[in-house]
A and B are shown apart, each in its own frame.
Chain A
Amino acid sequence: MKTDRWAIGELVPQITEMDSVGLALRLTLLALLLRPIGNWMIRPLILGLAALGVALPGLLRKPWLWFTLAVLTGLRVVLDWQLADNHGYLLCYWCLAIALALVSRDTCACLALNGRLLIGWAFAFATLWKLALSPDYLDGRFFRVLLLTDLRFAEFAQLAGGLTLDSLESLREFVTQHVDGQLFAVLNPPREPARFLWLARCMTWWTVILEGAIAIVFLWPAKQRLSTLRDALLLTFCATVYAVAPVEGFGWLLIALGVAQCDPARRRPRFLYLAVFALILFYREIPPVEWLAAFSHPS
């Protein structure tokens, strides 16, 4: 038992002392293994390459491995660009960034630059959509409708929004009715409880403020002082948003990009990135909302 404890005790410093490039590459491959992507043709190839990269340390920094992954993830996007997730696009850019970093003289600086700018621009566009382009975001409508209609958020809407099952179902029935044009006279539309409206408002502003702040600090020209803020904001985003939003693949990818841009001298944030990577895995396996719902209503 003593040797096991020692082994775990030594593992943490070993991982945090690993160079940023090695850690970011391993986390990217792990993300590919934990959340496989692509159709029946591309998926086995991506999984096979990711498994090889993790199992054979000699392959980890081979540019051909990452160029191939960039092509495969790119194919996955190009073949079905209308339906591919945004994180599929980001994954493709990131694999290309890794491949280019590995053929350049200063791998670490190239990867750090790409990690920082890819996060910055992705969050800048996400903020632009929310702040300026979407007509139904800032007034809270988006989260009100999402919480009612997306079954993945049903328990969260009840637990945090104070909806009963009956009120959730009647509101869902109301907003999902099929309409071409306008509804005829609506008599007594179901009302949303004040707590639910408050929750939607909080989610709206929490998300857009955090995403906007991340965009600004990651796109601001590199300065030592901003580095701490970057890591803190990205870690806060991943630790909070993915507790509710079931898109862990995006979370793991952001962590890999975050590690790559993290100041190599700072061990604590690197450890925290690893902890949040594990936390997102925990969220996937034991969703905190389901757990809390079961805890509050044991029957």
Chain B
Amino acid sequence: MPQHLVHRRWFWYLPVALLVTVACLQLWLAYTVNLSPWAGGGFGMFSTMEGRGNRHLHAFALRPGIRRELDIPSSLNPHLERVLVFPSESALRSLAAELVHVPTPDAGPLAAIELQVWATHFDPNSLEPSGTLLRAFEVPIDPHENRSLGDW
């Protein structure tokens, strides 16, 4: 049928509207909450090294006078990957709630879990890597119930 005879209906544009809306939302999240450009439906894949493979996380258990780095159990890997891609406050709280149960040799009540998400960037000439702190977050732990605030 010739183009000028086609009667287009509004709902024909729904899939495209969805694509554009999600991609704009992804752009906003990438700029405000460090969502990885590779993720979230914004078509930023193969445009930057800012993917989850070039981000890493350090977790610390804080007790009075002691700051101990935690080894993150492999069972939490899927959780960790989501945090690296989208280090939002709720994602970090949720991971901290899981890390409360990781054993440490230290005595004393657990006061907080500190989380740091780092991104690796590369020098344009030599490709020398450097780490940039994307987000640091401390989740206080209720000393009476030994539960993270993230559970509430």
User: B16, B30, B82: which contacts A121 (Cβ < 8 A)?
Assistant: B16
Which chain A residue has the least Cβ–Cβ distance from B130? A182
Contact A82 B39 (CB under 8 A): yes
Contact B8 A113 (CB under 8 A): yes
Q: Which of A115-157 contact B (CB under 8 A)?
A: 117-118, 121-123, 125-126, 129-130, 133-137, 139, 141-142, 144-146, 148-149
- Scoring A82, A144, A222 by chain B CB atoms within 10 A of each residue's CB, the highest score goes to A82
Complex Cα distance A177/B129, Å? Answer: 7
B23 contacts which chain A residues (CB < 8 A)?
Answer: 121, 125
Contact B41 A137 (CB under 8 A): no
User: A85, A100, A133, A207: which contacts B12 (Cβ < 8 A)?
Assistant: A100
User: B3, B38, B40, B122: which contacts A141 (Cβ < 8 A)?
Assistant: B122
User: A114, A126, A180: which contacts B58 (Cβ < 8 A)?
Assistant: A180
Contact A142 B44 (CB under 8 A): no
In this assembly, does A192 line the interface, its C-beta being within 8 Å of a C-beta of chain B?
A: yes
In this assembly, does B101 line the interface, its C-beta being within 8 Å of a C-beta of chain A?
A: no
Contact A134 B129 (CB under 8 A): no
User: A93, A94, A189: which contacts B126 (Cβ < 8 A)?
Assistant: A189
Shortest Cβ distance from residue B34 to the other chain A in the assembled complex, whole angstroms: 12
* Cβ proximity bits B107-151 to A, threshold 8 Å, 1 near / 0 not: 000000000001011101011111101000000000000000000
Shortest Cβ distance from residue A141 to the other chain B in the assembled complex, whole angstroms: 6
Contact B43 A179 (CB under 8 A): no
The count of chain A contact residues (Cβ–Cβ below 8 Å) is 62
Shortest Cβ distance from residue B113 to the other chain A in the assembled complex, whole angstroms: 18
Which chain A residue has the least Cβ–Cβ distance from B39? A82
In this assembly, does A81 line the interface, its C-beta being within 8 Å of a C-beta of chain B?
A: yes
Complex Cα distance A192/B41, Å? Answer: 33
Shortest Cβ distance from residue A276 to the other chain B in the assembled complex, whole angstroms: 19
Contact B9 A118 (CB under 8 A): no
Complex Cα distance A40/B20, Å? Answer: 29
Complex Cα distance A194/B13, Å? Answer: 48
Contact B131 A82 (CB under 8 A): no
Q: Which of A180-222 contact B (CB under 8 A)?
A: 180-183, 186, 189, 192, 207, 222
Which chain B residue has the least Cβ–Cβ distance from A100? B11
Complex Cα distance A222/B2, Å? Answer: 11
Contact A81 B40 (CB under 8 A): yes
Shortest Cβ distance from residue A76 to the other chain B in the assembled complex, whole angstroms: 12
Which chain A residue has the least Cβ–Cβ distance from B78? A83
A181 contacts which chain B residues (CB < 8 A)?
Answer: 130-131
Which chain B residue has the least Cβ–Cβ distance from A143? B46
In this assembly, does A245 line the interface, its C-beta being within 8 Å of a C-beta of chain B?
A: yes
In this assembly, does B6 line the interface, its C-beta being within 8 Å of a C-beta of chain A?
A: yes
> Can you report 24 A-B residue pairs in the complex whose CB atoms are below 8 A from each other?
A77-B41, A81-B41, A83-B81, A83-B82, A84-B41, A89-B19, A106-B1, A109-B6, A110-B9, A113-B12, A117-B13, A118-B19, A126-B44, A133-B30, A142-B47, A145-B122, A146-B46, A174-B127, A174-B128, A175-B129, A180-B58, A181-B130, A183-B129, A189-B126
